[in-house]
Amino acid sequence: MNKLLHFIGIAYRAGKVQKGAFLAEKAIKEASACLVLIAQDASENTKDKFISMCKYYEVDCFLTESKELLGRVTGGGDNRSVLAMTDEGFARRTKELIAQGKSET
């Protein structure tokens, strides 16, 4: 498992991740989301909705990993299209790991 997925799992176990579209949207609108992660294989509708919402509410968002992997690292086999990090420290480190992953490819 790569560092990013491992770190997302740690953030989830620490209670700093809202998983699923409903909880992520709620976190964004309540201004508790610091970072939103959208699965690369999410529907175009979901991607467009959350990218627009994040832009409007000024929350950083990234396309990353697959629904299956995001679901697996957040406790279970259910696929997750969207995750919202609610802690600035975890969000900052996640952004660093995403940047590292892009520079390695």
d(CA 51, CA 5): 21
Choose the CATH number for 3-104 among 3.40.1350.10, 3.30.1330.30, 3.30.465.10, 3.30.70.330: 3.30.1330.30
Model confidence pLDDT, tens digit, residues 11-48: 999 999 999 999 999 999 999 999 999 999 999 999 99
Residue with tokens 């939103």: 36
Q: What are the sequence ranges of the domains in the chain? A: 3-104
Query: Which residues contact residue 34 at a Cβ distance below 8 angstroms, ignoring those fewer than 6 apart?
Result: 59, 60, 85, 86, 87, 88, 90, 91
pTM: 0.92
